[in-house]
Amino acid sequence: MYNRIKKLLALLVVVTVIAAGFVTSNADGTAESGVNKFNVVLVLDASESMKKTDPDGYRYEALEQFIFMLADTDNYLGCVVFDTKIKAESELSLVTGQEEKNAVIETLESVSPNHGYTNIGDALQAAVDMIETSGNPDLPSVIVFLSDGNTDMPTDSEIEESLETKADAIEEARDAGIAIYSVCLNANGSADITEMQQISEATGGVFNEVTTAADLQDVLSSFYALIYNTVPVPIEAEVFPDSGIITKTFNIPGLGVEEANFLIYGEVDSITIYDPTGAEYPAETLINSTCGMAKVMNPVPGDCTVEIHGEPGTTIYGNMVYNVNLVVVGSSDLNQMTGSTSTPVNFNVQLGTGSVMATDPSQYNGFSAELIISDAYGTDLETISMTLGDNGFDVAKTFDAGTYNFRFHVSGYDLEKESEVYGPFTIVVAAPNVTPTPVPNSAPEPVEEEKEYTKYVIPFMDNTLEIPVTDLATDAEDPELVYQIESSSFLEGDDYTFDGETITMTNYSLSKGDYIVKAIDTGGLSCEVKVKVKAINVGLITVITLGVIALLVLIGIIWSLWYWKGRRLKGTLTFIDASNNPKTLNNAHGQVRIKRLGNNYAGFDPRKTYIQCTGKDHVFFVSNKKFVGGRGAPTKKLKINGNNSDVRVNLPNNPAQLTIRFQKDERKAKAHRAASRGRSGGAARGGARSVRSARPAGGRPTGARPSGGRGPRR
């Protein structure tokens, strides 16, 4: 039972950490209006295999707890349940309390796995469509995707269709800034996790594989570090004493906490929470067979006491998780984005809760702040601790000449938050008390906003595609730029490598995708270019079909060459060039190019113009250019009969002529005619003899008159 509860806790952590975060600030340091509020669509696999990978239905309780953990106001929540097709949906709608949450829970639990396949493409597309049509455009968006495997459909064509739809959904999610967080319930170890991993990495989300509780502890830390910007406060395992009561105390910070959620794993009877004065909070609670949960809205700063009731001898453990709305606003005393090497730059960072900034220095107690300096290309150079003052945290720094960016990192009470990146700013050499002159610099400009490549992927062939990036942008001041891949639909290492100048693709895990390439100048300004790649999988059957067609064509060409090369000249050919120089041939075969027959070719290409022997009583004059000859229209091929007549040919607008005369072999022709007549006469005589010999045994020939010419006697 204990291990089962740990497994449930681990799975819950995977999804609950996603609910915690999305605290951002704009480049100007002001907080976004939707702090800790977002559009979220839960996508749940209901294929038949889920009965084996999660026979006890832990996923339902984990998702129920995930939904409970969401802040009770201003979020938008929906869900999609799928197998071979979409089986159930709960439209994305505003959450104002537990009632809206319960409606989504009912939808998730309404479909039982039963003989279904795994149509990931349709599921993700439905979730993306839901956010784009029903979500709040002012909020960040996330899809939480739980499955136990990979795209699997009844037929190959349906698999290809699902994969194509998946590629479209990923592309739309990337364009809309929708992060997809994937959890693979790989309980039997048979899933290829690459597909779900790519879905998350391509959209800026996070992927994790759920196998054992020990593995999921890593999920806990990584998800919180990347998304929630905090670490859950652990509740250590403890056994209920004879009193059946366990008491825990937590120190609630004075800034940045909107809700405090308590997750207690094990058999729990009730949870009661008290504020620092000892008064009981009006907390929301949810108790089931494996877990107890409690939520406190707007907790009072200070010591919070949690009283847990349960059966004596039962072991419990858990976490306390904040829903935060901590705001970080940074600034410097640079009036313009230029400073001097002789003057220190003063930096300040302030904290707030939602849209309200802290005014009392005591509210900063328990927090610390750091200034992080990076170069023009985003590489971190230095981290400097800041000092708490009367108006937030301060630090001053003198810089060497160069271009820099900066940001702030704040932590405390298991909360962590980074500001946006500020800059770039340039430090120049200047004398003390002299205002530095701004360095003129303009941002790079894309040559094209988008660039497209199409690659036909052929089995058993080298399908490498090289994409140069150094020609994607230009800059007025910098002849050379630094290029970085900001994001990609494809997997680095598995699909492509990048050396700073060329993207080299060797694998195509998606039928279509893109790269966002960032071009940065020495002043830290940049532009972005989208490079789109479409991979057309030719397929083994198509390759075989094309191979058969190519073989047949080759056979036809070989036969044609053999046929015409083997045709002999049956007569005498006289060729007179444009300088009236004759040449006679009696023994030739195949094609006789005119470069063998003269020196003045009257404008004809001597390598591509020839006499074609036929083995019959005529030849052909053939050229790569249309010419005039005989009485017909201009042509590239002229028949010359073996009647010993001169045939003159010339190119249009060129009076110079070539003359061809062909005399068929009369001796052979006469012998041929005699043989033909002999065969005809012999056949006639042989026919008469046949009639005379055709008589019945012992009588006259059938149909012959009697002797004397008279008729029969009476």
Which residues belong to CATH 2.60.40.10 in the chain? 326-428
- CATH of segment(s) 445-537: 2.60.40.60
* Segments of 240-309 assigned E as strands: 245-252, 257-265, 270-274, 284-287, 291-297, 302-309
Confidence of residue 458 (pLDDT cuts 50, 70, 90): confident
Average pLDDT over the chain, rounded to an integer: 83
Q: What integer pLDDT is reported at residue 25 of this predicted model?
A: 33
pLDDT at 563: 67
Residue that has been written with the tokens 């003359």 in this structure: 659
Confidence of residue 678 (pLDDT cuts 50, 70, 90): low
Contact between 370 and 328 (Cβ < 8 Å) = no
Every domain range in the chain assigned CATH 2.60.200.20: 571-666
Q: What is the mean pLDDT of residues 235-257?
A: 93
* Ranges of CATH 3.40.50.410 domains, the chain: 2-231
63-67, 591-595, 610-614: the lowest-pLDDT one: 63-67
What does the buried/exposed string (b/e) look like for 640-675 if buried means 16 or more CB atoms within 10 Å of the residue's CB?
bebeeeebebbbeeeeebbebbbbbbeeeeeeeeee
What is residue 587's DSSP assignment?
S
Q: What is the mean pLDDT of residues 1-17?
A: 45
Distance CA 472, CA 519 (A): 8
Distance between CA atoms of residues 330 and 328, nearest Å: 7
Strands 270-274 and 302-309: antiparallel
The two structure tokens encoding residue 521: 């100048």
Span 304-339, pLDDT tens digits: 999 999 999 999 998 888 888 888 999 998 766 777
What are the tens digits of pLDDT across the range 27-82? 333 323 335 678 999 999 999 988 888 888 888 887 887 888 888 888 899 999 99
From start to end of 363-522, where are the E strands? 368-375, 380-385, 387-389, 392-397, 402-412, 415-418, 422-428, 445-446, 450-457, 465-468, 473-474, 482-488, 496-498, 502-505, 512-520
207-210 and 284-287 beta bridge pairing: unpaired
Which range (97-111, 215-229, 316-330, 565-579) has the least confidence?
A: 215-229
> Which pLDDT score, from 0 to 100, does residue 85 have?
95
pLDDT value at 224 more than 50: no
Say yes or no to pLDDT of 389 above 60: yes
- Per the DSSP assignment, residues forming a β-bridge with 593 are 610
Residue range 571-666 forms a domain whose CATH class is mainly beta
Highest mean pLDDT among 201-205, 260-264, 352-356: 201-205
* Whole-number CA gyration radius for the chain: 44
| CB neighbours of residue 489 within 10 Å | 24
Residue 663 tokens, joined: 């005399």
Q: Cα–chain-centroid distance for residue 661?
A: 68
Structure tokens at 192: 């290829």
Q: Which residue has the higher pLDDT, 531 or 360?
A: 531
Contacts of 101-105 with CB under 8 Å at 24 or more apart are 101/67, 101/68, 101/70, 101/77, 104/42, 104/67, 104/77, 104/78, 104/79, 105/63, 105/64, 105/67
Pairing between β-strand 141-147 and β-strand 178-185 as defined by DSSP bridges: parallel
**Percentage above 90 pLDDT, the chain:** 54
Band of residue 130 on the pLDDT scale cut at 50, 70, 90? very high
Helix (H) or strand (E) holding 4: helix 2-20
Q: Which amino acid is at 436?
A: P
Task: Check residue 63 and give its pLDDT.
Answer: 83
Between 299 and 342, the more confident residue is 299
Half-sphere exposure of 595 (CA within 13 A, CB side): 5
Start-to-end C-alpha separation, the chain: 129
Q: Can you read off the two tokens belonging to residue 137?
A: 């455009």
* DSSP-based three-state secondary structure for 507: coil
pTM listed for this prediction? 0.72
Average pLDDT over residues 631-653: 91
User: Which CATH superfamily is 326-428 part of?
Assistant: Immunoglobulins (2.60.40.10)
Neighbours of 184 (CB within 10 A): 25
Alpha-carbon span 62 to 57, nearest angstrom:
9
- What is the CATH class of 2-231? alpha beta
Which region among 91-100, 127-136, 240-249, 563-572 has the lowest average model confidence (pLDDT)?
A: 563-572
- pLDDT in the model for residue 684: 43
Helix (H) or strand (E) holding 679: helix 666-692
Residue with the larger pLDDT of the pair 239 and 217 = 239
One-letter amino acid of 699: G
Distance CA(98)–CA(100), nearest Å, equals 6
Between CA 80 and CA 123 the distance in angstroms is 7
Q: How confident is the model at residue 9 (pLDDT cuts 50, 70, 90)?
A: very low
